[in-house]
Structure 1
């Protein structure tokens, strides 16, 4: 084989094998994606055309060349049609059935005209064996139908390019590279055919197969590097950059397909490099969110974004192709922060005693039970302080209930100022209050009760130009959680604190008493 011919054969063989690779890749990885079935067909037809042309170039007689040329023309006429269908399907435009059928007419007629050319010479006016160059080729003189097919091929490619460029305006920035690569791949066959028809190709070689190698190289980059068919088609009609919800699209392999700009503000780690990556890899640093997404069930999720607490309702919607096949899912993040804040405020108001602004009895016990659960898990101790205002009935009888309410808020405010943020305080009933201390010793609880008692007795309530002094009595109970303790532990502790409070009242009021073994026997 001539060295000059060998160079062209190697290039064309590379193009053929590359077409086979892309055809196989399409069958395995993207056969259900829009546009992919036509891509698979066009790469298959290209492979047939390319390998047949290799045999044509390496043939030594005119009859052999004509045979392999006939094989080429069983595949080549359909390539521009399948490229056009691929582009239509890619952008989501449906072709009317009559137009779909009409576009097959010229390729079928081309095959017929080519294989019956000896009878009418409408496709080639002459076919001659040329041995003047470094290797033999077949000289072809195009007839009327040859130019009809050439114009048809050119129009199919130009319409395909126009369809893609129109889609380019609608696409978000990160998908424009894919479309431009697709357009670039379609330009090469046009240039190659222009050179071939005008007789400018070296030694009269058909540059079509060589152009296909460049064309499918660009298409291959778009598919392998940018996941062309697994990215844009799924998202193009669904994900709109203008919507207010955060939207992320996954395919069936749990690979991130697309997201909108709102989603990027919610999850900043999303960027153009994360498209085409498995969600497990991208969300590796956020296992809680990954678990919620993996469950696939609608739920509420709390996040900290820019130092602020935000709430999102996560919901899932399936993505189906036009054949009804499930090809992915849409994950929407709806901002419900305002609603949750209102709900939290309502829950807070419902939990508070309207007069004293401390927890009411129901919510105090609920908070105490949550504290017990954390201690049950981690171990520790709990102290309960119960206190009330001495002779509060006299205050109401002497000064009226309005003054009595003021005294209640006055005492509650003093106690609230004295406790820590981790301590829980509630109004137990009437003029009686209760405080729950987590992991505080009996000595610490006693010191706190003594501090509150002293401040209450020293600070008067100034009402209607009158100084009203009140005192308070305190009962304390303390215990450590042991194995097998249950919710009865809480109620037992409150009963003990209540008994200690009554002991304080019996001992003259305005004092602090703790529930001890000595007290247990004297009561």
Structure 2
């Protein structure tokens, strides 16, 4: 065997071995990922094609060469089809079933035309051995169907590169761009090789297609192993990661930003591609509340006011481990609706719907907190109870709607009179209660009388009538020095209630102190 033939046989055989190894790897690791199944067939058919061509180059007679040429053409016509399907799957473009079937029609016809060439000579017009080469090699004259197949070959490859090029324009991350560039380069190599072959520029007329496969699959192998082709494809990132409603940032083991999606821009405004590779706490801002949450991996709710309105996110942390390293995934889930609903429910649970004052239960809770805080430092606390005089007659005369208006108006007057740290609640019916921390009996009396006068001056208009009301007040006060909280509060309320009834007995529209009772 001439040395020239041996060199080409070795190169083609190495290409076949590489294709076989990639086929096995793809079968066990990539068959369920986008573009993975077509990639398995591409590498399998390429391996069969290259090994067959290696045997063809080692054959010494025309009959043996034609046998292996027939074997090559059982798989060769399908290679451009599967490369196109691989690229379309990689970028997330799914063909309809009838279009996929149509793609296989011409390769099947090519196999038929090649197998029956002796009957019509539409694929090869003549087949003979090249007398000028140092080893037996075919010299072919091409018929019209060969050019039909060649056009189909180039169209599939061009459509593959166009689909990858369109994805390249949308992808900003380096590793994804490198994946696509390596894939495009791997596709261009066979195109260039076939150009030389068809224009009689290859040595001795050798088909450079199988030889080019070695270079092509080295490039595909680089994308596969170095950049994890098909494991995290641009289509997965663009269609899933980028379009997630949840904000997601990806960190490496050292807390350095690796990736983020578009939704994160609504949470961290200064995120950009230049931030990738920087520590996340530097990107967020050291010492900020969010940086502390991320640094300590505290799963909690976080409020953001970046858009002007309060938006609440629930921050979750998860670790992902692959064969080589750990990655940390931080997810920001928008829980604004849930938080708003909780706040609304909490508001309804503590607020009286008619007067918008604390209801009795919540007033008692807040008052106990006030008394408890005074237990630690000491101080006065006063309780004022009052109700609207002759309220039943208002309901009987004007109706319950008018009575509701009166209750709401009185509540509004009281809220406008109180100090910022006083609290007021609706105790029941037309009865109200106030808790005044750090207020002596005299101060509480002055406040009660101030409220009484404002209520008497308030006017409620209903059905072209003006309604005025008066109110009666009872006050109790105590200087706290470590008494039991609940007992102190209950005693104050009971004493204020007794003082209120004393005010009613006295003629209403007045203020009575508990110390004056009896």
On whether the aligned pair clears a TM of 0.5, the verdict is yes
Distance 1:98 1:412 in 2: 77
Q: TM-score, normalised by structure 2?
A: 0.58
Distance 1:223 1:384 in 2: 77
The answer to whether structure 1 residue 348 and structure 2 residue 339 are counterparts is no
CA shift at 1:360, angstroms?
1.7
What is aligned with 1:440?
A: none
What is aligned with 1:42?
A: 42
1:143 alignment partner, SS class: strand
The answer to whether structure 1 residue 418 and structure 2 residue 421 are counterparts is yes
Distance 1:475 1:404 in 2: 29
Alignment partner of 1:109 out of 109, 112, 115: 112
Distance 2:274 2:52 in 1: 40
Change (3 A) 1:2 1:450: farther
CA shift at 1:205, angstroms?
3.8
Structure 1 regions of 5+ residues with no counterpart?
A: 250-257, 276-283, 293-300, 315-331, 436-444, 481-491, 513-523
What does residue range 80-479 of structure 1 map to in structure 2 within 5 Å? 80-87=80-87, 91-96=93-98, 99-100=102-103, 102-109=105-112, 112=115, 122=124, 125-128=127-130, 132=134, 137-145=135-143, 148-149=145-146, 151-162=148-159, 165=162, 169=166, 173-174=170-171, 177=177, 181-220=182-221, 223=224, 225=227, 227-228=229-230, 231=233, 246=245, 261-262=262-263, 265=266, 304=304, 306=306, 309-311=310-312, 337=336, 341=340, 344=343, 348=347, 351-353=350-352, 357-364=356-363, 387-389=383-385, 409=412, 412=415, 415-418=418-421, 426-429=425-428, 430-433=430-433, 447=438, 453=444, 456=447, 461=453, 464=457, 472-474=475-477
Change (3 A) 1:121 1:413: closer
Q: Residue 459 of structure 1 contacts residue 469 of structure 1 at CA under 8 Å; is this kept in 2?
A: no
Q: Residue 380 of structure 2 contacts residue 438 of structure 2 at CA under 8 Å; is this kept in 1?
A: no
CA shift at 1:140, angstroms?
1.8
Distance 2:441 2:8 in 1: 100
Deviates more, 1:170-179 or 1:352-361: 170-179
1:142 alignment partner, SS class: strand
What is aligned with 1:502?
A: 494
Distance 2:47 2:74 in 1: 12
Over the aligned positions, Cα root-mean-square deviation in angstroms equals: 6.1
Change (3 A) 1:201 1:501: same
CA shift at 1:303, angstroms?
5.2
CA shift at 1:159, angstroms?
3.5
Deviations 1:377-412 (A, max 9, x none): xxx99x997722479759999xxx999987765555
What is aligned with 2:30?
A: 30
Q: Residue 52 of structure 2 contacts residue 69 of structure 2 at CA under 8 Å; is this kept in 1?
A: yes
CA shift at 1:23, angstroms?
1.9
1:32 alignment partner, SS class: coil
Q: Residue 186 of structure 1 contacts residue 215 of structure 1 at CA under 8 Å; is this kept in 2?
A: yes
Deviations 1:42-78 (A, max 9, x none): 1111122234444555x38447972655554443333
Distance 1:17 1:384 in 2: 92
Distance 2:247 2:169 in 1: 14
Change (3 A) 1:339 1:396: same
Distance 1:451 1:113 in 2: 117
Structure 2 regions of 5+ residues with no counterpart?
A: 249-258, 277-290, 316-330, 394-402, 459-470, 503-511
Change (3 A) 1:368 1:26: farther
Change (3 A) 1:505 1:189: closer
Change (3 A) 1:61 1:505: closer
Distance 2:474 2:230 in 1: 79
Q: TM-score, normalised by structure 1?
A: 0.58
Distance 2:341 2:356 in 1: 18
CA shift at 1:339, angstroms?
9.2
What is aligned with 1:279?
A: none
CA shift at 1:271, angstroms?
8.3
Distance 2:74 2:345 in 1: 75
Distance 1:3 1:455 in 2: 117
1:193 alignment partner, SS class: helix
Deviations 1:164-195 (A, max 9, x none): 52675588711884556544432221210110
Change (3 A) 1:407 1:511: farther
Change (3 A) 1:497 1:344: closer
1:246 alignment partner, SS class: coil
Q: Residue 385 of structure 1 contacts residue 477 of structure 1 at CA under 8 Å; is this kept in 2?
A: yes
CA shift at 1:471, angstroms?
7.2
